[in-house]
Amino acid sequence: MAGPLSSDAGWDASHRPLVVVLGASGYIGSAVVRELSRRRIRLRAVARGPFAVPAGGRAATEVVRADLTEEGAVADAVRGADAVIHLVAHMTGRGSWRSASSDPRAERVNVGLVRDVIAQCAVAPGGGPPPTLLLASTNQVADGGPQRSAYARQKAAAERHLLDATARGAVRGVALRLPTTVGSEAGVAPAMAGRALSGEALTMWHDGTVRREFLDVSDAARAFAVALDHAAALDGRACAVGGHVVALGDLFRAIADRAALHTGRPPVPVLSVEPPDYAETGDFRDLDIDSSVFRDVTGWRPEVPLHRAVDDVVSAVTRRRAAAG
């Protein structure tokens, strides 16, 4: 890749580095595209669903609609790329990763697509450095016990493929292990916000003291951007990104309190309930994650405090409901 991707050197559009974002219509993917659209690069947003180019960006952006599991789709998507950001994951419902344990398609998407992307990057023509490949992984991988989730096992397998390819010189590979990412489109925060706004109690499968790291989606997008700038130093690593550590009970109560400001009613209760059959061992344990490597190499730190991320999610869910009538 010709120089850091943050450079504002006097390239014309044809000489700007090409960055491909796979999974651009997801809530993390769309945030990554917004972040990168501020740079003087060529940007290819590959999305299975509808996707609009961010307004006012400096990047020369194209949108490609594709199902990457179809034959030839990966080759077309990554052709000519200087860097690829792989954000595709098999999710069901409102962004649930739990289907990895029961849906045979999950292995194909979570692991097989990584192999396909590596294979296409490895055959790219030219005698320059190999393309950079950033993989979105999960901090669940760090919990190496036998009881970790099927999703974590699949992401661990994807990481191994990436780092093996890096050792062979096929790609310049970096896996970013994300914590629970807070955005308005999917995941636990908007789901709980919706329940609180409807006056429903928020339920937990434990006493609320289980601690997790949470990261605003815009901070996650910045993490991928700075990883591109430090790809040489991060080459061959799987790095935890880290976030804000909070007890789940405290998070749910914060969501209930913020929702009450919108509804004018008292905050809904936060209750402990019996866990469902599909709950996993990891749901009841703290995750102790060391994110010092990524932070020391890149200087990245989360900028959005958790209380503001919660405010943004509850406000976004409120606006969606109002727009839907």
Q: Is the pLDDT of residue 285 over 90?
A: no
The answer to whether 303 touches 293, Cβ cutoff 8 Å, is no
The answer to whether 83 touches 1, Cβ cutoff 8 Å, is yes
The amino acid at residue 308 is R
Between CA 97 and CA 106 the distance in angstroms is 9
Comparing CA positions, the residue from 17, 49, 5 lying closest to residue 30 is 49
Tokens 């096929």 correspond to 170
Q: What Cα–Cα distance (Å) separates residue 186 from each residue in 11, 124, 233, 317?
A: 37, 35, 32, 11
Lowest mean pLDDT among 71-85, 115-129, 216-230, 290-304: 115-129
- pLDDT level of residue 301 (50, 70, 90 thresholds): very high
Query: Which is higher by pLDDT, 247 or 146?
Result: 247
The answer to whether 155 touches 141, Cβ cutoff 8 Å, is yes
Number of C-beta neighbours around residue 226 at 10 A: 18
Q: Is the pLDDT of residue 271 over 90?
A: yes
At residue 251, the pLDDT reads: 95
Number of C-beta neighbours around residue 251 at 10 A: 26
Q: Is the pLDDT of residue 207 over 70?
A: yes
- pLDDT level of residue 102 (50, 70, 90 thresholds): low
Residue-wise burial string across 262-271, b where 16 or more C-beta atoms lie within 10 A, e elsewhere: eeeeebbebe
Q: Backbone phi, then psi, for 62, in 5-degree steps? A: -125, 150
Q: Hey, what's the torsion of the CAs at 176, 180, 186, 192, to 10 degrees? A: 180
- pLDDT level of residue 142 (50, 70, 90 thresholds): confident
Q: Is the pLDDT of residue 146 over 70?
A: no
Tokens 């914590």 correspond to 179
Tell me the pLDDT tens digit for each residue of 28-44. Answer: 999 999 999 999 999 99
Between CA 49 and CA 33 the distance in angstroms is 14
Element (H, E) at 180: strand 180-182
At residue 63, the pLDDT reads: 96
pTM: 0.90
Would you call 71 exposed, middle or buried from its count of C-beta atoms within 10 A (0-12, 13-18, 19+)?
exposed
Question: CA Rg, the chain, in Å?
Answer: 20
Q: How far is it between the farthest Cα atoms of the chain?
A: 64
The answer to whether 154 touches 107, Cβ cutoff 8 Å, is yes
| Section 39-54 average pLDDT | 93
At residue 124, the pLDDT reads: 62
Sign of the Cα pseudo-torsion (104, 24, 86, 146, in order): negative
